[in-house]
Structure 1
Amino acid sequence: MKTHFMLTTIAVLTLAAFGGALAESAASSDSAGEAAGVVAGGSSRTDRSHEAPSERRATPMAPSASNQTKAAGTSVQPQLLRSSVGDSADAPSGRLLLRIPSATGQGGAGPTIEGNEPPVEPAKPGTDNGEDGPTFFGEPASGTMLFIIDASWSMWKFKDVGSGEDYDGNAIASMSRMDCVRYEMVKLLQQLNETDSFDFVLLAGADKDPPPGISSPSKPVTRLWKSEFVACTDDVRAEAIDFIKTVETWYGTPTHDALRRACTEYGYEIDQLFFLTDGAPFPVEWRDGRIHKDAILADFPGWFAPLEAYGCRLSCFHIGQDAGAGTFMQEFAAANGAKYIKR
């Protein structure tokens, strides 16, 4: 019995010692946890069990100085909203909403809606419908047009404009000056329509008979085809093409008369005046005793003034290699604001 009492006493003492060790260990753990809370949060945990559930929301912390500096330079600040639904401090927080207001407080405009029609393709330069317009020796030609065409004997005689094609598309190894003009004229007539009108002034003739050796006549002194503008209907086109194909050449280059008639016998409502020649004005001395070229340079500006005021465009074409023609045509074009084209 004595032995049993001693064993019981030892067991009680052992249990007491073990329980004290456990209590001391628990106290140490609580102290360490509280210390950690102070280091991490700046203060120990506070018992808030006496607060109502709605009062347990964390009080927002004041923004730091650096955050205030950033906010000062930004006109729009995001708002972070936390749902307050819940009755327990340990319950998960609600969903987060990030709401960024627009700069003006209004909703942004919707996307631009394009029309259903496809974009229109741009027309080529110089045209309204995207197609190449009629041209004469490369120059645009339309509207009311008057053509002064040199039909002097030299236009048939000299072949110095190179190779090319005739109006039927046949190759010509060495074209005469008149072949060149016929080809361009027929090509233009085939492109015109009823909105275009035209006439021809043939530049040829002389007051005197030609010298011996030249069988070409010298009369008439210039010739008009219709003496008025005619619209380019199908019938007129066919007649004009036949006229150009069969025109005869004759002696003399009465440039003064041809220019005067073109400017004074058709009115002033002319859109384009085309002047073609292969030689200098001939005869050299004009009827009134003046040099033929000088008489033209002196008189033409007065004739052309009403046409120019209307808006008529003058183009000068030098056909062939005659040096005298080149000198005269360049001087004439420069004096009258015309374009000079060499062929």
Structure 2
Amino acid sequence: MDLSEEVRTLAKRAKELIGSIETEEATKTALVLPMLRALGYDVFNPLEVVPEFNADVGIKKGEKVDYAIYNGGKLSVLIECKKIGEPLAGCHANQLYRYFTVTEARFGILTNGIIYEFYSDLDERNKMDNKPFFIFDILSNSESDLRELKKFGKVKYQEDTILSAANNLKYARLLHAVITEELENPSEEFVKLLGTRVYEGRMTSNVLEWMSNLVKDALAHTIRARVRANLESALDKGNLEEETTEEVDDLERNGVITTEQEIESFNIVRAILSEVVETDRIFMRDSKTYCAIIFDDNNRKPICRLYLDGRQWRVGTFEERQERKNDINQVSDIFKLKTQLKAAISRYEASS
């Protein structure tokens, strides 16, 4: 079984066990160790994988990192684990930072069993960077993500090769985030940059406000046009079926693009609710304002609403007719809302 199949199996396992894993130790056993095995490491061989690795910091003794990975007899990776669903930020990254500075490892991984954040010392040697250069999500990943993950496998591991690519990965990821944000919410600087190329007058506050809406609409139109062109090109080659054209036409008419994050969120909601109802009764309807997930294809039976187009992502859940918006940092945080999601189904079933 290759790595992509191993990851798919692990993702399926995570969805099945999400409600049963309540501790950090359970997360390690159920998800982290299987990931290390998928990467080719013998988790029972202390020459390869050392649990509770001693990483004393200065006068602070007894500091231990969850796992240390050795390649060719050399310490290469430190892994700090947190409970599934726990955000990987703040003090957790600081904890790994302390361990990193007192060892010879060039890579650090912070994980909650679903998300794996990869750090190195690209900015200053022996000082872990503040931001990861690579993030791998077992529930949502691409072929390129899998190729990068493979580099950390026992067979493929080459420290110099990873380091040479890490800097490009880091800034490519950051640029992707910036571009995505500009596409969804163009900043004043970005509006000025484009506006001064087409508008000859003075960029007053009123002009900027007017131009901001134009820029946002123009960006959306450009993306839709590129999508349509690519699909039509594929249709000419006979790679897509006829109904794809109808889908593109719908896209042009309503101006709505369903994102990968919304599709992933929909699949997570279906996975949660599969415990209480048939998943073919759960539907998704996207709009410009939010993406709705509904029961029995009925707008009067909302399960939740996804607001994933701003700086702060939110998921709206329902109690009777009242919507409550819950902040999330990543789509896997939706698992934390399983009680509210199941309660919605219970209400609709009880009233039918």
Q: If the length of structure 2 is used for normalisation, what is the TM-score? A: 0.22
Q: Which has the higher helix share?
A: 2
Q: Does 1 or 2 have the higher relative contact order (CA < 8 Å, sep 6+)?
A: 1
Q: If the length of structure 1 is used for normalisation, what is the TM-score? A: 0.23
Asked which structure has the greater CA Rg, the reply is 1
Q: Which has the higher strand share?
A: 2
